Amino acid sequence: MFGVLLPIPPGDLTGDPTPDLLAIDGSGNLRNYPAEPDGDVNIHMPGGYNAAGELDDGYWGNGTNHALISHSGDWYPGDGINDIISRMPDGRLYLYPGDGYGYGYGYGYGYGYGTFNTDERLDVLLPPGSPNSAALTELAMTSDITGDGLPDMFAVAGDQLWAFTGYTGGNFTSARLLSSSAWASRDIVTVADITGDNVAFRQVTLRSTSP
């Protein structure tokens, strides 16, 4: 009996299908922390590699100049596997395709590796009029919020909040400045439809760093 192929849900890197946590440690290594359905997080696994094997310390940055990372769904190119967007220490944006299987058999989900081959990264370009990618201080990938069927991204640059929409083929279709003040002291936790009204744009979860 053949199973049904199922895409891995957004945020899930290991195929179980619970969203997992990515983080960069103090040595500049990307770590994947597989999560349990009850919210517990397991010990980390290496999150990146290349043809030579595990990456050297510092690939993802150091204590003063580290990468920004965000993962939420399949961006390259419709294989059902979660990918990440990263603003790297060189100031440029890249897409790192995930290497999980991206499918499951029967009623369950398959097991993905939960890592990213840095040799396969792709440049990501911002539209004219966007801030310099090196100026970005936060990234939040999300699903389609404009109705064009393409994924989108929110970002903070200085005190400004930006929306980059219509990602396809290494480019965003448009950039829009949503707010020009009060964002330097806020962290974007998630942008998603959490109430079931099919509207993600108005449902931004924040964490303020102000007293």
Residue 98 has pLDDT above 90, yes or no: no
**Mean pLDDT across the stretch 99-122?**
61
Which of these ranges, 74-78, 173-177, 199-203, has the smallest mean pLDDT? 199-203
Rg of the chain's alpha carbons, rounded to an integer? 17
| Per-residue pLDDT, 196 | 60
Residue 139 has pLDDT above 50, yes or no: yes
Distance CA(153)–CA(147), nearest Å, equals 14
Percentage of residues of the chain with pLDDT beyond 70: 79
**Mean pLDDT across the stretch 81-91?**
92
Distances (CA, A) of 44 to 3, 18, 24, 31, 102: 30, 15, 11, 6, 20
Q: What DSSP string runs through 65-117?
A: SB-EEEE-S--SSSSS---EEEE-TTS-EEEE-B-S----STTS-PPP---EE
Residue 29 has pLDDT above 60, yes or no: yes
Residue 63 has pLDDT above 70, yes or no: yes
| Per-residue pLDDT, 199 | 55
Burial of residue 151 (number of CB atoms within 10 Å: 0-12, 13-18, 19+): buried
Model confidence, pTM: 0.81
**Mean pLDDT across the stretch 109-114?**
49
Residue 79 has pLDDT above 90, yes or no: no
Residue 112 has pLDDT above 50, yes or no: no
**Mean pLDDT across the stretch 199-209?**
50
**Mean pLDDT across the stretch 37-55?**
84
Local structure of 119: helix, strand or coil: helix
Burial of residue 16 (number of CB atoms within 10 Å: 0-12, 13-18, 19+): buried
| Per-residue pLDDT, 53 | 85
Distance CA(152)–CA(163), nearest Å, equals 7
Element (H, E) at 123: strand 122-124
- Rounded to 5 degrees, φ, ψ at 44 are -75, 160
